[in-house]
Amino acid sequence: MSDDDAGETAKGQRGRKLSGDLRREQLDSGAFLFEIRLRLDENGDEQEYDLTRAAERLPPHQLDPAAPMPAQSSKELRAEELREYLGMERKGYRVTKDLGCLHPHSRFTAYGKGSIIRGHQRMTAYLWHKRSHMEHKAKATRNAEGRPVDLQVSHLCHRPWCVNPLHLVVEEQFMNSLRNGCGVINGRKGPCCAGVKCLRTYSDGLEEDVEYCSSEAEVRLAIDPLMNEAARGPFSVSLLPKSLYAERDLAALKRKQRNDAKRLKI
Ligand SMILES: [Zn+2]
Ligand SMILES: [Zn+2]
């Protein structure tokens, strides 16, 4: 896939912000480059992987088998989302010291100003783990107790920007809501309210001061649980050299400068 493919190029700004500009911004802010992929089985198909199980090795929540399937085929959805996902991943992630949360460039978070990907968490979960469950995409429905059971992606780390697959779980809306305020009862510390346990006490994850890893050794320590899960799950995690895209970013910059110069002459 060339670097000029959609998802690798940030559009919408005056002139055009190159993919490499975003990468430089993100790497300068302390990010590292990763490649997280599902492994292929002998038929060349990606293997299914159950994230709910990975999170705490509990059985997945019961889903309504009668929920309608989406109109869009999973192949179409995948091609488009894969492009967006790769564009995000290739800018790198900052890694928090406490839990190994992976923080994409703000352009790709659901909350960043001018962000181009909404619900990147959903996409991440879809790509890595819970494809079949995400395909339900049911209209909001309620269970027998009247609770909303539309599927959502919850963050066990309470950081809505995080894409660490071990911190994401696909579950019913009411379970997601239960996590808001989790671990706090009347302002005091209390137990986690959900079946698959949260990783820390609730916070909205947007304004807090987060300490990020600054060396590769710190990153490896922080993502150790992810590496362990990768060793037994059907996906792989690689930490890539920061200079991996330097050459092609430089080539893209030169190409742009040449084109700009040509336009000026006309
Ligand atoms: Zn996280
Ligand atoms: Zn909780």
Q: What domain count does the chain have?
A: 1
Q: Which ligand is nearest to the CA of 225?
A: 1
Most confident option among 17-21, 192-196, 233-237: 17-21
Kindly state whether residue 135 falls inside one of the protein's structural domains. yes
Average pLDDT score over residue span 28-51: 73
Average pLDDT score over residue span 54-83: 44
Q: How confident is the model at residue 236 (pLDDT cuts 50, 70, 90)?
A: confident
Q: Give the model's confidence band at 223: pLDDT under 50 very low, under 70 low, under 90 confident, else very high.
A: very high
What does each C-alpha distance from 57 to 22, 51, 53, 60, 263 come to in angstroms?
A: 37, 9, 4, 9, 58
* Residue 61 predicted with pLDDT over 80: no
pTM across the whole model: 0.77
| 234-263 burial: b if 16+ Cβ within 10 Å, else e | bbebeeeeeeebeeebeebeeeeeeeeeee
Q: Which ligand is nearest to the CA of 196?
A: 2
User: Is 1 inside a domain boundary?
Assistant: no
Report pLDDT for 3. 41
Residue 207 falls inside a structural domain: yes
pLDDT band with cut points at 50, 70 and 90 for residue 76: low
Query: Residue 219 above 90 pLDDT?
Result: yes
Q: Kindly indicate the confidence band of residue 206, based on its pLDDT and cuts at 50, 70 and 90.
A: low
Q: Is residue 200 part of a domain?
A: yes
Query: What per-residue confidence (pLDDT) applies to 247?
Result: 94
Measured from the Cβ of residue 135, the count of other Cβ atoms closer than 10 Å reads 17
Mean pLDDT of 61-75: 40
The whole domain housing 90 covers 19-265
The 10s digit of each residue's pLDDT in 78-112 is 566 667 778 888 999 999 999 999 999 888 776 55
User: Which ligand gives the minimal distance to the CA of 155?
Assistant: 1
Among the bound ligands, name the one nearest to the CA of residue 179: 2
DSSP state for residue 167 in the 8-state scheme: G
Weakest-pLDDT range from 39-43, 82-86, 172-176 = 39-43
How far apart are the C-alpha atoms of 227 and 144, rounded to whole Å? 40
| Ligand 1: centre distance to CA 204 (Å) | 12
- Look at residue 186 and tell me if it is in a domain: yes
CA of 222 to the centre of ligand 2 (A): 21
What is the 213 CA–ligand 1 centroid distance (Å)? 14
Examine residue 4 and state whether it is found in any structural domain, yes or no: no
* CA distances to 3, 43, 220, 258 from 245, in Å: 9, 31, 21, 20
Q: Ligand 2 centre from 193 Cα, in Å? A: 5
> What is the whole-number distance in angstroms between the Cα of residue 145 and the centre of ligand 2?
21
Q: Which ligand is nearest to the CA of 163?
A: 1
For the four alpha carbons of 212, 214, 215 and 217, in that order, the dihedral sign comes to: negative
Specify the pLDDT at position 12: 42
User: Which range is least confidently modeled, 55-64, 83-92, 192-201?
Assistant: 55-64
Average pLDDT over residues 255-266: 88
Q: What is the whole-number distance in angstroms between the Cα of residue 78 and the centre of ligand 1?
A: 23
Q: 241 CA distance to ligand 1 centroid (A)? A: 22
Distance 198 CA to ligand 1 centre (A): 10
> What's the gap in Å between 186 CA and the centre of ligand 2?
15
Indicate the angle between helix axes 246-265 and 19-28, nearest 10 degrees: 130
Bigger pLDDT: 117 or 218? 218
User: What tens digit of pLDDT does each residue of 117-173 get?
Assistant: 445 555 565 555 444 344 444 455 777 888 877 767 788 888 888 888 888 777 777
Q: Which of 164, 158, 169 is nearest to 225 (CA)?
A: 164
